[in-house]
Amino acid sequence: MSDEYDPYNVAAFPGERSKGARGPAKGRPGKALSPDAPEENPAQTVAANQLRAFVERVEAIEEDIGALQDDRKEIFAEAKATGFDTKALRAIIRLRKRDPNERAEEEAVLDLYKAALGMA
């Protein structure tokens, strides 16, 4: 039983020298990933390059989102300066995003409730 592989025993992973002796960590996750750093394992290089590519793509999209949010803010400021009610404008935009049938059903229920409460 002592020779069996134990997935929870860190020192017993395949490739370890002995149960108690642990050498210097090679290729640890916290290691800096520079493109010209020599890697011992080509699979680690590929994985690091893929990871770097994913991170850079997400960062680029986040920059684009920030720029688009700034543009949106400017549009609402321009609409407000022209005299439009931005709260109503946002409500119209929300309504236009919804399915027309769902919107009509909700408006019908709302009209029914208003009539029941004498608000129509």
Shared domain for 90 and 61, answered yes or no, is: no
| Domain assignment of residue 75, yes or no | yes
**Blockwise average pLDDT, block size 10, the chain, 120 residues:** 57 48 49 55 85 96 97 98 97 95 95 94
pLDDT attached to residue 21: 46
Q: Domain range for residue 93?
A: 85-120
Query: Full-prediction pTM beyond 0.85?
Result: no
Residue 93 lies in a domain: yes
What pLDDT does residue 72 have?
A: 97
* pLDDT confidence of residue 20: 47
The residue type of 88 is A
**Local structure of residue 13 (DSSP, 8 states):** S
Phi and psi dihedrals of 60, rounded to 5?
-65, -40
Q: Are residues 117 and 101 in the same domain?
A: yes
pLDDT of residue 7: 57
Could you count the other beta carbons within 10 Å of the beta carbon of residue 44? 14
Question: How far is Cα 28 from Cα 47, in angstroms, rounded to an integer?
Answer: 13
Instruction: Give the pLDDT score at 32.
Output: 53
pLDDT of residue 17: 47
In this structure, what token pair is assigned to residue 20?
């108690």
**105 lies in some domain:** yes
Both 92 and 77 in one domain: the answer is no
| Predicted local distance difference test score (pLDDT) of residue 13 | 47
Q: How many domains does the chain have?
A: 2
At residue 39, the pLDDT reads 53
